[in-house]
Amino acid sequence: MEQVQEQVNDQQVEATAEAPEQTPAINIEALQARLEKLENTNERLLNESKTYKNKYQGLRTDVETKQKTQLEESENWKELLDIEKNRAFELEEKNKSIRTDVMRQKLNFEVSRHASNAFDVNDVINSLDKSSLTIDEENLEVGGIKEAVEVVMKLKPHLFNTGVKPHGMGERPPEGYKEVKQETSLEDLILSGIKSGAI
């Protein structure tokens, strides 16, 4: 019985060795049709999303207008004032958020302009001395970026592509390089051995 099982296993091994490996055929036309269908679905969903967003904004505006009208008719000035305060607060928060985003984009743009040879602009931005920057929030301007980038270039040259390769192992030392040899005397070796407990 074991011989029969071994013969069956041997035949299976031979059959798999003789059969060439088949790679699945890729139907390019089917993939393109599927891609086109997905793009159409994506476009349809985006359009529906915009439509529903516009409907929501319109309904929200209608509801707010009706609420204001009811409050004005009932002369409920306190509640009307609270609604307007909340709306003003929301608008102020949105304004701050937009101003922050604009300032961040301007900072990124100016840093990338002055640090065009940086490997990663975000690393340079994170390394900037924020206290040396002058920020005018009213006019959305940031000053002192050029000087701050120059300071980062001096302090962290590894963040920039300066064209100079660092001295590495297996390379010839740069011209004018002097190796500092530390001469150790026999006394120093003995003292270090005593301190470490080896002697």
What are the domain boundaries of the chain? Answer: 102-162
Per the model's pLDDT, the better-predicted residue between 90 and 5 turns out to be 90
**pLDDT of the residue at 5:** 56
Question: In angstroms, rounded to a whole number, what is the distance separating the alpha carbons of residues 115 and 154?
Answer: 12
**pLDDT of the residue at 171:** 59
Q: CA angle at residue 144 from 92 to 119, to 5 degrees? A: 95
pLDDT bracket for residue 92 (50, 70, 90): very high
Closest CA to 148 of 135, 136, 139: 135
pTM of the model: 0.45
Average pLDDT value for residue range 137-144: 80
Q: Which of 7-21, 100-114, 158-172 has the lowest mean pLDDT?
A: 7-21
**pLDDT of the residue at 184:** 47
Handedness of CA 72, 73, 76, 82 (dihedral sign): negative
Per the model's pLDDT, the better-predicted residue between 197 and 152 turns out to be 152
What pLDDT, in 10s, does the model give residues 10-48?
555 555 545 455 556 778 888 888 889 988 998 898 898
Q: Which of 14-23, 40-49, 79-88, 170-179 has the lowest mean pLDDT?
A: 14-23
Question: In angstroms, rounded to a whole number, what is the distance separating the alpha carbons of residues 19 and 6?
Answer: 20
Question: In angstroms, rounded to a whole number, what is the distance separating the alpha carbons of residues 94 and 91?
Answer: 5
